[in-house]
Structure 1
Amino acid sequence: MSEDRFQRLRLLEALLFAAAEPLAPAALARHFPEGTDLVSLLEELQGLYANRGVQLLRLGERWAFRTAPDLAGAFEIERTTTRKLTRAAIETLAIVAYHQPVTRGEIEEIRGVALSKGTLDTLLEAGWIRPRGRRRTPGKPVTWGTSDAFLEHFGLESLDSLPGIEELKAAGLLDPRPAVTILGERGLLPPPTPIDRDEGDRDEDKEEDLLGDDFGEDLLPEELELPEEERE
């Protein structure tokens, strides 16, 4: 191999290595003297890389360096993706933790809304809940409870270490105000209904309307003559 051809192979190798995308011979030609047989150079360079970890591949009309296909398995990377729980999942996890073993229906009753299937699946996939058996009621629904992974993740020695109501209030996780006040501010209380008085009250109202305004006043007028002993 002549020195001139060797230098051209080196230049071709550098151009392909530095390129961000595959290059066609026409794009490479401007870096070489006119009349250079680039196809021959590319095929020769391809042979030099045939048994190496990086190979020169022809992709249609373009050429590019690529890792050897048989080494693809060594390039697999496992990544841990952190996903935030939805509000429904957090509420469901709290209900399971404090009310276990609990069924799906009981969770819905406590939350007051229907529970989507994906919510329990997410907690089950995270390993924080597990089936605890079946309730001995019609339909034998599955009951759910927390797992050891739940205790480990939240740094709890046991379920007895779960914070109580006062601790949750102190941490700002519970509103210390009365429930009626909270629901009223959120507009969740039904409007007050008028109190219907019984028929006896209505009759009394009618009777009062028939009486004069001065009824019951001055029951003992001054001109009424009574024995002196009764006036004292």
Structure 2
Amino acid sequence: MAGKINDVQLMQLVEAAIFAADKPLSCDDLQSSVLDGLNVSKKRLNDTLGRLMQDYAGRGISLAETASGYRFITKPELSDYLARLWPERSPRYSRAVLETLALIAYRQPITRGEIEDIRGVSVSSQIMRTLVDRNWVKVVGHKEVPGRPGLYATTKEFLDYFGLKHLNQLPPLPEFQAISLDLADTVVTTGELH
């Protein structure tokens, strides 16, 4: 396949590379590795990826584009059945860890103190360490207030783990929508925001 590659070979190579990779592969990753020297344009590669996505659309696995690139994923509706393949369970996270992660995801960048104010309880160092160790969150800066607390935000690994390309793909939160609607009603009916 050196130098030139036909469409069938290109699809096979891209499919195999994404399947074999231990992380999502971006177009740049593909072009600088398995496609290096094959003169495959960005458009041709994107067309190939689009065809692969269509080919896998009705199957048990699909090609998904995440924040870091492309990877194969199993259909979510099959997860209960597929879980039977592994006797040990994936790590269970406490409600506090999940609440903290959700607050960071939806309100980022956010300080630990702001998380504590919203949750109404303190956030332990262990919770933050768990999220940082998983590489789901990181400190992206410091708030310009006394003590300069760290500002936490999610990472590409967070998006990849949850199968998202962008944060706007997070499911909407009914509580935030209700608050927004209440504020909108207040402004419309009274003409002022309280």
**What's the TM-score, normalizing by structure 1?**
0.37
Q: Which has the higher helix share?
A: 2
Larger radius of gyration: 1
